[in-house]
Structure 1
Amino acid sequence: MPKNSKISVIQKITSQANQTFNNIPSSGNNVDNKVFVEQQMELVSLLSQITAADLNIAPPKKLSASSKQPPSAPVTYMHICETDAFSMGVFLLKPGASIPLHDHPGMNGMLKVLYGKVDIRCYDKLDKAAGAEAEHERQGDAVSRAVLRSSGQFSAQSDPCVLSPAKDNLHEIDAVDGPAAFLDVLAPPYGPDDGRDCHYYKVLQTAGRKEQSEEDEVWLLEIPQPDDFWCGGEPYPGPQVSV
């Protein structure tokens, strides 16, 4: 690389992600691993600096009411890179689009909004309860106790949303008031052959309550991928990265 060439923000993030996620202890106890925590904080700091312009992306232009477009995926993905340690790309959500509640088995993750606004609700599974869970299992349903751990709205001015194998691991994401895009880092990547397949869930209302508050316990029913959600792909237009 020429001496005067400027290293892109996304390349700095890629290099730091490599350093961070190659230091994950095999025990999975990340909180007590000082090196990992320090590296993760540095990665969060770099993610906080990234903008849509750094990746050569921008909100889509509004189409006129008379223009006709073929049906397209509510969510698309721009692949940036993937290694054995992590994957990175950009999700783009159309107005009103949602990424349904899903999990990240044994994975760390970071999400940084680039444009627009999203609502994110994060859940954690709890220890199994013998009663209701066993009853659902007899009926053929895959049900888990969980708690709504956090809920909030994120924009390009917000800090990254961070998840770990033990905290905020399940989440659902809704675009608010228009289109939205976010940079997504997962470590390690999804890998069905390694026990890291993506599962989708539905929140079962309890005791007639329609609204949930943080730390409220709920039941999660595992479901197939919803019919109204699918993810398309489109080219990544930003700076290329070296991993």
Structure 2
Amino acid sequence: MRVDGQLVEKAKSSSKKSRRRQRKSGSMPSAVQRLYDTCMDVFVDGGAGVVPPPEDVERIRSALDRLSPADVGLSPNMQCFRKTESEGTPAVRYLHLYECPRFSIGIFCLPPSSAIPLHNHPGMTVFSKLLFGSMHIKSYDWVDVPQKSNGALKPAHFQPKGMRLAKVHKDAVFTAPCETSILYPSAGGNMHCFTAVTSCAVLDVLGPPYSDSEGRPCMYYNDFPYASFSGDTDFVPEDSEEYAWLEEKAKPDDFFVLGAKYSGPKIIER
């Protein structure tokens, strides 16, 4: 999801002198640096709707699967993961690692019971690595409703006004360590929401990032069970619980994402 209007501390690149010193010493790059280098290679010709080849998808997945919380300077006892006694939904914090027009890397830190509401990823390939904790994930993909069913035109009321049909892709609790999840522009659960069961952190790689100017805004949704509205029951006769109607909405007023300082290994840009 997109982080707007927040104080985000960007990781700074090292000086040329530092780069020369690293090359001279032959020191091993950090896990975060290896992830960045892999993303630079994979997304070199990236753009909206461009899905990397399977072997490149696997390269990024492999780099993320090997990441641990310590590799990015995180531990569950940090202040940003503590639930306060104040009223309301706990704020989510975002650690910015890197962003360019082709991809971005960042970490969402969620205290218990905090949530990231249902939102989309237009034209993006997204990798999500749960670093620690337990998180409930519910995700959807759009359903292309055929114009005809059983040789007859669908009734005009089949699709409720302002809504679109989607199918559930995931609806489960995930606990680290677990495999990196991947979503695509039109598959893999492009619309999803996160709810923290315990304190947890998830590292996201977005290729490409959100961009209003390039037609990739972050949209939020309400979801309603399929049976909530009348429709053509012949379309989903037996598994209607796997379908829902999604309705666009404004960003929820009670959803807050605060920028926080990333204190893990720095990324050396190239």
- Do Structure 1 and Structure 2 share a fold, with TM-score over 0.5? yes
2:100: which partner in 1?
Answer: 83
Matched, 1:127 2:144: yes
Residue 217 of structure 1 corresponds to which residue in structure 2? 243
Counterparts of 1:29 and 1:58 in 2: how far apart (Å)? 35
Question: What is the match of residue 189 of structure 1?
Answer: 209
Paired position in structure 1 for 2:252: 226
Distance 1:6 1:228, change over 3 A: same
Structure 1 residue identity aligned to 2:267: V
Mapped to 2, the partners of 1:18 and 1:214 lie a distance apart of 42
Q: Secondary structure, in 3 states, of the residue corresponding to 2:213?
A: helix
1:176-208 per-residue CA deviation (whole Å, 9 max, x = no partner) reads 1x2110111111010011111000001112326
Question: Structure 1 residue 152: deviation in Å?
Answer: 2.8
Residues 5 and 72 (structure 1), Cα distance of their counterparts in 2 relative to 1, 3 Å cut: farther
Cα-to-partner distance string for 1:8-37 (whole Å, 9 max, x where unaligned): 0010001101111224477x463xx6xx22
Q: What is the CA-CA distance between 1:145 and the residue it aligns to? A: 0.9
Deviations 1:30-83 (A, max 9, x none): 3xx6xx2211101101100001011111113589xxx97798952010000001
- Counterpart of 1:174 (choices 192, 195, 215) is 195
Distance 1:135 1:151 in 2: 24
Aligned residues of 1:73 and 1:232 also touching (Cα < 8 A) = no
Once residues 118 and 16 of structure 1 are traced to their aligned partners in structure 2, the CA distance between those partners, rounded to angstroms, is: 27
Q: Could you tell me whether the CA contact under 8 Å between 1:21 and 1:85 is conserved in 2?
A: yes
Taking the aligned partners of 2:120 and 2:70, their CA distance within structure 1 comes to: 30
Give the match for residue 163 of structure 2. 143
CA contact (8 A) 1:149 1:214 kept: no
3-state SS of 1:148 partner:
strand
User: Judging changes above 3 Å, is the alpha-carbon distance between structure 1 residues 12 and 126 closer, same or farther for their aligned structure 2 residues?
Assistant: same
Give the percent of matched residue pairs that are identical in Structure 1 and Structure 2.
31
Contact 2:135–2:175 (CA<8 Å) still a contact in 1?
A: yes
CA distance in structure 2 between the partners assigned to 1:38 and 1:194 by the alignment: 27
Paired residue for 1:156? 176
Alpha-carbon RMSD across the aligned residues, in angstroms, is: 2.8
Query: Does structure 1 retain, via aligned residues, the 8 Å contact 2:166–2:245?
Result: yes
Q: Which runs of 5+ in 1 are unaligned?
A: 137-141
Aligned residue pairs, count: 226
CA distance in 1, matches of 2:181, 2:193: 12
8 Å CA contact retained: 1:51, 1:156 = no
**Conserved in 1, the CA contact under 8 Å of 2:89 and 2:255?**
no
- How many Å separate the matches in 2 of 1:132 and 1:13? 48
Asked if 2 retains the 8 angstrom alpha-carbon contact of 1:133 and 1:143, the reply is no
1:122, 1:68 → 2: CA distance? 30
How far apart are residue 7 of structure 1 and its match? 0.6
Say which one has the larger Rg: 2
Aligned to 2:8: none
| Structure 2 residue 219 is matched with structure 1 residue 199 | yes
What SS does the aligned partner of 1:233 have? strand
Q: Which runs of 5+ in 2 are unaligned?
A: 1-21, 148-153, 230-238
Q: Quote the residue 1:139 is aligned against.
A: none
- Rounded to whole Å, the distance in 1 between the matches of 2:178 and 2:138 is 15
Q: Which moved more, 1:232-241 or 1:124-133?
A: 124-133
Contact kept? 2:105, 2:203, Cα under 8 Å: yes
Contact 2:130 2:176 (8 Å CA) reproduced: yes
Taking the aligned partners of 1:186 and 1:13, their CA distance within structure 2 comes to 13
